[in-house]
Amino acid sequence: MKHWFLDSEFPNSKPENARFHIIPFPLEETVSYMGGTAKGPEAIIEASSQLEQLVEGYGNPGRLGMYTAEAVNIEQKTHSAIEEASKAMIFAHACHAIPVLLGGEHSVTNAVIGFLHTCYQKGEVGVLQFDAHMDLRSSYEGSELSHACVMRRVVESGIDLFQVGIRNYSEEDLAARQSFHVLSYDASYLYRQKDGGTSLTTLRLPDSFPKKLYITFDVDGLDASLMSATGTPDPGGLSWWDSITMLETLTQGRTIIGMDVVELAPNALHHTSYTASKLTYFLMGLASKRSS
């Protein structure tokens, strides 16, 4: 392996000794606008060599052990690649580790469904989604595994979903949100809260939402001024500190059992890859304090 996560600071731990299993999944199958997500996992891993060991407020998660697995084979059929990624997440769980899936387009999150159904009871885990889009279409451009449908597959499988930062949607998305009782803090709502003087630290997930969380973070949830290296860099998104605040407040009193960071399409502006890498490491730090 050429690089592993934070290889400037830590060895690549053995799977059985690692608290985190980083699973690169360079899928780029259904991208509908700008391409490049196949290079996302590698860029996140390479940029991680510039990170410091400490995560402010959350200690040194790297010392808990990090194992970077070989990338999921994307030369096979998409269904098979998703199954392979799901098995890698199940293996992480068997090692008492937290899986950290690095995309690739958001379709990689389809692997989470098999992982949750295998390792957890129905209703035990909810998905917390940070994104510019709902991704609740039934199909898109002829594919039910499209990045635009991944959250539809999640809710259809009986997994609860809460969305943060949404600011683009179709009529079909809105209908699905209502039908599957998906709750949210959309980007416009968060803006109005801050504009009205209400602190985002007061926001919470509903008490009825599962106490165990899987976090999926599409980097286009971040504002385009911060994250231009994605298929659809979108204005009106989350700032860095909005994202950190929402992650901290919405996970209070809950356990993080897994996560993914997806849709990075690296470009010449290397700060974007570094931002995605720092976000990934922050999520590990947060999970280290929000895990059983």
User: Which tokens belong to 107?
Assistant: 């379709």
Question: Around Cβ 197, how many Cβ atoms within 10 Å?
Answer: 6
Residue 63 pLDDT class (50, 70, 90 cuts): very high
Query: Any idea what the CATH number is for the domain that residue 189 is in?
Result: 3.40.800.10
Burial class (CB in 10 A: 0-12, 13-18, 19+), 102: buried
pTM: 0.96
> Is there a domain that residue 6 lies in?
no
pLDDT by residue (tens digit) across 177-196? 999 999 999 999 999 999 99
> Is there a domain that residue 10 lies in?
no
pLDDT by residue (tens digit) across 97-132? 999 999 999 999 999 999 999 999 999 999 999 999
Cα-trace Rg, the chain: 17
Number of domains into which the chain is organized: 1
Q: pLDDT at residue 173 above 90?
A: yes
> Is there a domain that residue 183 lies in?
yes
**Cα–Cα distance measured from residue 263 to residue 5, given in angstroms and rounded to the nearest whole number:** 18
Range of the domain at 59: 15-289
Instruction: Give kind and range of the element (H or E) at residue 78.
Output: helix 78-94
pLDDT at 32: 53
pLDDT by residue (tens digit) across 23-42? 999 998 865 555 688 999 99
**Cα–Cα distance measured from residue 237 to residue 123, given in angstroms and rounded to the nearest whole number:** 30
> Is there a domain that residue 206 lies in?
yes
Given its phi and psi angles, is residue 6 left (phi above 0), alpha (psi -120 to 50 degrees) or beta?
Answer: left
